[in-house]
Structure formats: structure tokens, C-alpha cells
Amino acid sequence: MPAQSKAQQRAAGAALSAKRGKTKVSDLQGASKEMYDDMTEQELEELAATDHDDLPEHKE
């Protein structure tokens, strides 16, 4: 499933980084913390890989 906003894409990228051990889980906050807890690495990868050029900053 592709990300629906740039904010969602960035939050997924942060959560994915923590899942892979590249950043600290304690550095996550808000949506990225929830995504880290609730989603698999593959799901996060799909969201983070979304091309964000045509996405709105935030979903309306």
C-alpha cells in the first residue's frame, strides 16, 4: 500500500530505520512510534518507498 502523504512516508521511513536497528527506538515519537509497534518491516518498506513528489504534505 502506498503512502497517502509526505508526512506518512517520512514517518514510515523513521520507523523502518528503527526496525533495522539504524536509529534508536527511543528517538521515535507520534505516528512513527505507532508504526514501529504495529507494522512489519515489509509493510513499512512499502510505505517508505512511495514516491512522494505528487503527495500532499498531510492527508486531508
Q: How do residues 3-58 score in pLDDT, each as one tens digit? A: 899 999 999 999 999 999 999 999 999 999 999 999 999 999 999 998 878 888 88
- Entry pTM: 0.88
The confidence score (pLDDT) of residue 50 equals 87
The confidence score (pLDDT) of residue 56 equals 85
Collapsed DSSP state (helix, strand, coil) of residue 26:
helix
pLDDT above 90 (res 59): no
Cβ atoms within 10 A of the Cβ of 14, count? 21
* Residue carrying C-alpha cell 527511543: 26
* Residue carrying C-alpha cell 539504524: 22
